[in-house]
Amino acid sequence: MRLHRVVCAVLCLALGAAPGRAGAQVADTLPTIPAAARAGDHFDPEAATDAYLATVPPDQRARSDAYSEGGYWLLLWNFLLSAATYILLLAAGWSARMRDLAERVTRFRPLQVMTYWIQFLVVTSAIEFPLALYQNFYRERQYGLGTQTLGGWLGDELKTLVLGIVLGGLFVWGLYAVLRRARRSWWMWGSALTIVSLAVGALITPVYIAPLFNKYTKLEDPAVREPILRMARANGIPASDVYVVDASKQTTRVSANVSGFLGTERITLNDNLLRRATLPEIEAVMGHEMGHYVLNHVYTALLFLGVVTVIVFALLSRLSAWALARWGPAWRIRGVDDLASLPLLALILGTLLFVLTPVTNSFTRMQEEEADIFGLNAARQPDGMALVTLKLGEYRKLDPGHLEEIVFFDHPSGRRRIHDAMRWKAEHLDGSEDRLSRHVAPRNVACRPELTPLPCPRAESSARPAASAAPASADTAIPAPRRSR
Ligand SMILES: [Zn+2]
């Protein structure tokens, strides 16, 4: 059930997501830069950050804090439930019975593995279903995030289960082949198999797996596409690969991601972002995603996961040997290479990964902050970044404590991201208005009112840049795209 989510969490370096009113008219909620965050002689990044955070109404802050804090507890409940499920499979002898059945059905090893695996996946998914239903369907709707009907959600879950049977089955077959052939050094071969599987997952996810759940189309709107492609070309990124995904099918969250590697890379922005954000916000997000791409984050993430995998498998080998010596006969498990040992391996693996959550989160958070800094330099939209961070903050606690951020956050907190943006702005105040407005203006495209917080210039003023036609200075509101000349 969790395969797609795991692959995505690991390898789709998503910027994030936010709730909101699906299909809300952007023009009704045009963002403006708070007074203390406007460029000027006394610009102070701390005060500017506080001013941005203060624009969020208290009830909205309370709601996103509650959503995030509930998520921390759900991490624990999910871990405890799966641990209890695996212990039940072992101690009640279900795992041994499932193995006996697989051995009765066929003598052909790969089919035995598949028969056991299907039983294992169906039983564990069934036990964990109520929590998944609450967490991923009811709770998402309760917080205004989910847009799916129950039928649509169940359909996606079923697809995930089938993918888990096929891809997970291949992995488990490979793992037990290794376990049978290399009794002592299986942890080395097993970690190699895991790393290769993660890499293959990263390779095929954008092309073969993600399209099973959503429709991906090339971004066609020149008013949005052209500024993104200019930024992509300027940063050495193959320039035709910007995709839009119909994420509004499942959620109201705003997000974008970069996924794939070795030629399957693609930068994708979701349709909620396209609908709810202004062009400077979109550019800030795309600058961040391009950062993941240029900084080779998929490769460094695989390297990091490789190191984690080897350590985890070394511990897995010792702990499973100890547990089997102690309880193996009572659970009717013949050895670690017996299929019935799978719940034990999953229990130990799940526990180690749960304990390592702060470490893996911190690695991801570090990459995300690198991408933020790259994005600020590439897009030069500190206010766009701050404004879109507030949108992400609709579902993510904006101002957590230091320890809370280290343990639970796989992205920098809203406060940190806005502060980084304001720090960048403070160092670029000199002549920044002119540079910012020139960068923002997409050339050769019509002014789109839904993409700018400023009114589009009227026909008679079309020869003038929108930023100078507007009553506010370029820095008090986000500059508008120019009308084509
Ligand atoms: Zn990111």
Q: Identify which of 14, 145, 69, 63 has the alpha carbon closest to the alpha carbon of residue 407.
A: 69
- Ligand 1 centroid distance, CA of 236 (Å): 18
The rounded distance, in Å, linking the Cα atoms of 432 and 464 is 19
- Ligand 1 centroid distance, CA of 13 (Å): 5
- Ligand 1 centroid distance, CA of 257 (Å): 7
Given a contact cutoff of 8 angstroms between Cβ atoms, the answer to whether 227 and 249 are in contact is no
What HEC string does 253-279 produce? CCCEEEECCCCCCEEEEEHHHHHHCCH
Looking at the chain, the whole-number percentage of residues with pLDDT higher than 70 is: 81
Given a contact cutoff of 8 angstroms between Cβ atoms, the answer to whether 482 and 465 are in contact is yes
Instruction: Give the pLDDT mean for 8-33.
Output: 41
Average pLDDT in the chain: 82
Residue 213 confidence (pLDDT): 93
- Ligand 1 centroid distance, CA of 337 (Å): 39
- Ligand 1 centroid distance, CA of 283 (Å): 14
- Ligand 1 centroid distance, CA of 286 (Å): 10
Reported pTM = 0.80
The rounded distance, in Å, linking the Cα atoms of 196 and 306 is 9
The pLDDT tens digits of the residues spanning 86-121 come to 999 999 999 999 999 999 999 998 999 999 999 999
The pLDDT tens digits of the residues spanning 209-250 come to 889 999 999 988 888 888 888 998 899 887 676 889 999 999
The rounded distance, in Å, linking the Cα atoms of 364 and 386 is 20
- Ligand 1 centroid distance, CA of 237 (Å): 16
- Ligand 1 centroid distance, CA of 375 (Å): 10
Residue 447 confidence (pLDDT): 53
The pLDDT tens digits of the residues spanning 33-73 come to 888 888 888 889 999 999 999 999 999 999 999 999 999 99
- Kind of pairing, strands 242-245 and 266-270? parallel
Confidence of residue 9 (pLDDT cuts 50, 70, 90): very low
Dmax of the chain from CA atoms?
87
Q: At what angle do helices 342-355 and 357-379 cross, to 10 degrees?
A: 50
- Ligand 1 centroid distance, CA of 15 (Å): 4
